[in-house]
Amino acid sequence: MMAVTTPELKGVLKFDEPMSRHTSWRVGGPADHYYEPADIEDLANYLRQLPEQEPVMMIGLGSNLLVRDRGIRGSVICPAGLLDGFEIQNGKVLRVEAGVPCAIVAKRCAKEGFTGLEFLAGIPGTVGGALAMNAGAFGGETWPLVKKVETLDRHGVFHLRDADEYLVGYRSVIGPEAGKLQEWFVAAHFVLEKGDGEKSLKRIKTLLAERSKKQPMGVPSCGSVFRNPKGDHAARLIEACGLKGFRVGNAQVSEKHANFIINLGEASAADIEKLILLVAERVRQEHGVSLESEVRIVGDG
């Protein structure tokens, strides 16, 4: 493993970087190339100088990612904490860059007296990840508040896009680039609504307390593994199969929340993936429901 700073680029390029360092499950083999851009322009320069055939993946805080044990071929780009611009424009719009953690967006907006983004407080990812996933919690979702997004494409070309260019659903976002040149989010413009800062901060506290009552905290996980099927809860179906506490190696269905899989210590990505498949199969057999993974599974196994 080695890290270099090339003279043309301002960021840091690492080789064979273990993805277990960058995923909340703490598993995942090496990325061939792992780039930490200095800013948006630098990220565009990195994309421009890549060979045409190099696969590229953008990640945030890896809180919705299962990276398989043999890792990721090509380049993984991580702007978390690096693309960190945060600017309230005319008291009406928040322009925030993709690497800013959701929790910071929620707290800063509340402190500035804006309401609507409190639900982001408990989502342990970045703005980029929240845009890609249409992350949501406690009745709030990311995209209804998005006015525009800034993206970079595979050739490092910048685009400013309207929210209505995207087809957005439950944990699903399809962009106008789908099936064409790949694009990644580098910033979002959120519409802000004036609120009461004290109330928003209180609401954040309540939402975080709710979470820690229901979800396993402080153990490696990826949050909810499966999307909720229409009109039901994946956790209810899994629990009804008696799968709470069920293990494959050191991957375990959480005793506290059946839609969470936790890494008890030295789990491999293969253990987790096997457990995901086993749980889905049991739910299919016992309830006739096909659960779909919310977690993105990537890389070579």
Ligand X SMILES: Cc1cc2nc3c(=O)[nH]c(=O)nc-3n(C[C@H](O)[C@H](O)[C@H](O)COP(=O)(O)OP(=O)(O)OC[C@H]3O[C@@H](n4cnc5c(N)ncnc54)[C@H](O)[C@@H]3O)c2cc1C
Q: Is 209 exposed, middle or buried (0-12, 13-18, 19+ CB in 10 A)?
A: exposed
Per CB under 6 A, 296 contacts ligand X: yes
Per CB under 6 A, 130 contacts ligand X: yes
Ranges within 193-222 binding ligand X (CB under 6 A): 221-222
Q: Based on CB atoms, which residue is closest to ligand X, 7 or 230?
A: 230
Q: Based on CB atoms, which residue is closest to ligand X, 92 or 148?
A: 148
Q: Based on CB atoms, which residue is closest to ligand X, 61 or 94?
A: 61
Most distant pair of Cα atoms in the chain: their distance: 59
> What is the SS3 assignment for 98?
coil
Strands 65-67 and 72-77: unpaired
User: Residue 282 and residue 200: Cα distance in Å, rounded?
Assistant: 41
Answer yes or no: 294 catalytic: yes
Q: What are phi and psi of 71, to 5 degrees?
A: 85, -165
DSSP 226: B
Residue 194: CB minimum distance to ligand X, A: 25
C-beta nearest to ligand X: residue: 60
User: Residue 200 and residue 205: Cα distance in Å, rounded?
Assistant: 9
User: Residue 252 and residue 229: Cα distance in Å, rounded?
Assistant: 22
User: Residue 49 and residue 45: Cα distance in Å, rounded?
Assistant: 6
Q: Based on CB atoms, which residue is closest to ligand X, 149 or 237?
A: 149
Q: Where do the DSSP E strands lie in 19-60?
A: 30-36, 56-58
Residue 287: CB minimum distance to ligand X, A: 23
Site string for ligand X, 169-188 (x = CB under 6 A): ---------------xx---
User: Residue 91 and residue 93: Cα distance in Å, rounded?
Assistant: 6
- Report yes or no: 105 and 85 within 8 Å, Cβ to Cβ: no
Per CB under 6 A, 299 contacts ligand X: no
Per CB under 6 A, 132 contacts ligand X: yes
Per CB under 6 A, 145 contacts ligand X: no
- Residue span binding ligand X (CB under 6 A) among the ranges 86-94, 107-115, 134-142, 197-205: 134-142
- Report yes or no: 171 and 227 within 8 Å, Cβ to Cβ: yes
Kindly state the tokens that stand for 254: 């959480």
Answer yes or no: 161 catalytic: no
Per CB under 6 A, 129 contacts ligand X: yes
Residue 227: CB minimum distance to ligand X, A: 10
Q: Based on CB atoms, which residue is closest to ligand X, 23 or 268?
A: 23
Total residues binding ligand X (CB under 6 A):
30
Q: Based on CB atoms, which residue is closest to ligand X, 136 or 197?
A: 136
Q: Which residues bind ligand X (CB under 6 A)?
A: 24, 57-65, 98, 122-126, 128-130, 132-133, 135-137, 184-185, 221-223, 296
Active site residues: 171, 224, 294
